[in-house]
Amino acid sequence: MGRQHSYNFTFTNCIIKSTNIFATNYVGAVIGHSCYPVNITNTSVLNSNITSASWSGCFVGHTNSLQLAINNCTSFDNSIISVSFSGGLIGFANSVYGAASTILNLTNCTIYNNTILSTNVYSGGIIGYINATVTITNCNVSNSIISSANYAGGITSFGNYSSLTLKSSKIQSVKISKLNGALIIGFKNSFTVNLVNSFSEGDNFVNDVLVQNCASFTSSVSINGC
């Protein structure tokens, strides 16, 4: 679906495999641009190429829905590429009426062996850029490359005037570009992060998030044949 026009859209029990999806803006394997409530459940995107100039997400390219939920979903062996705003699940989580008006819940999702690339700015392992109220529970990002010329993060590249609650999630064996890059959030601007069940940062935990075998790098990533 390119732009969502139906209210309370539900997408469930589907497999999207070996697909090439390209548009100038707003690209996702399920929805390019979402502006109404959405529920995506028990769906996998496998071995696919998702490419745009702006707003590429494995499931949703861009959302300013009042409510969006992604549950029990998998992104495996995909290339998610844009000039700006790329994410392992969602490219850009935005809010038209202020961050509190857009609520996203992402639960039990796996992002594995993906290349998530923005040639300019904003690449995130789960969400490229957050300007909404987001809760992420039991989601894992692993064996992936998350790269941008500026701003990259294992969960998100940039949090702006909004909030993220992160529970029982794991970032493992990922490579993240170094300029304004970090294992969880690349950069924050008036952004509240709630991490539950805190652990010492001296361990391999950053509060509730387990981080293992990760690295940052300075070289760019070249992707051909997409």
Q: What is the pLDDT of residues 3-28, one digit of tens each?
A: 555 567 789 999 999 999 999 899 99
Query: Residues 112-156: pLDDT tens digits?
Result: 999 999 999 999 999 999 999 999 999 999 999 999 999 999 999
pLDDT tens per residue across span 170-194: 888 898 987 888 888 899 898 888 8
Q: Strands 67-71 and 215-217, how do they pair?
A: unpaired
Sheet containing 127-130: give its strands across: 31-34, 60-63, 90-93, 127-130, 156-160, 185-189
Q: What is the pTM of this model?
A: 0.88
Element (H, E) at 136: strand 133-137
Topology of domain 9-217 in CATH is Pectate Lyase C-like (2.160.20)
